[in-house]
């Protein structure tokens, strides 16, 4: 794939920006949290994680979209 990219070819499984924006997979949180309100805990944890990421902070929060849908 590196050589293919170096030749200016599109590598396998490369997504166009519009395709990448539509991908919404399950949020992966690996860790321990409170059991009483775990639904709120993982959402807040994910927002903090995304907010601390220079690239993820630039994208809309998929959890906010899911709550309004």
Q: What is the pLDDT of residues 23-53, one digit of tens each?
A: 766 667 777 888 888 888 888 888 888 888 8
67 vs 9, residue with greater confidence: 9
Q: Is the pLDDT of residue 69 over 70?
A: no
As for how many domains the chain has, the answer is 1
Establish if 10 belongs to a structural domain.
no
65 vs 58, residue with greater confidence: 58
Cβ atoms of 12 and 2 within 8 Å: the answer is no
Q: What distance in Å separates the CA atoms of residue 21 and residue 32, rounded to the nearest whole number?
A: 29
Establish if 36 belongs to a structural domain.
yes
Q: What distance in Å separates the CA atoms of residue 3 and residue 49, rounded to the nearest whole number?
A: 33
Range of the domain at 47: 27-52
User: What's the distance, CA 16 to chain centroid?
Assistant: 16
Which of 56, 49, 1 minimizes the C-alpha distance to 23?
A: 56
Establish if 47 belongs to a structural domain.
yes
């Amino acid at each position: 794939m590196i050589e293919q990219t170096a030749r200016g070819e599109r590598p396998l499984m490369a997504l166009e920006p519009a395709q990448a924006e539509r991908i919404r997979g399950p949020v992966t949180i690996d860790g321990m949290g409170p059991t009483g309100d775990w639904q709120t805990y993982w959402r807040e944890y994910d927002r903090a994680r995304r907010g601390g990421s220079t690239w993820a902070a630039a994208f809309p929060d998929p959890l906010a979209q899911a709550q309004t849908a």
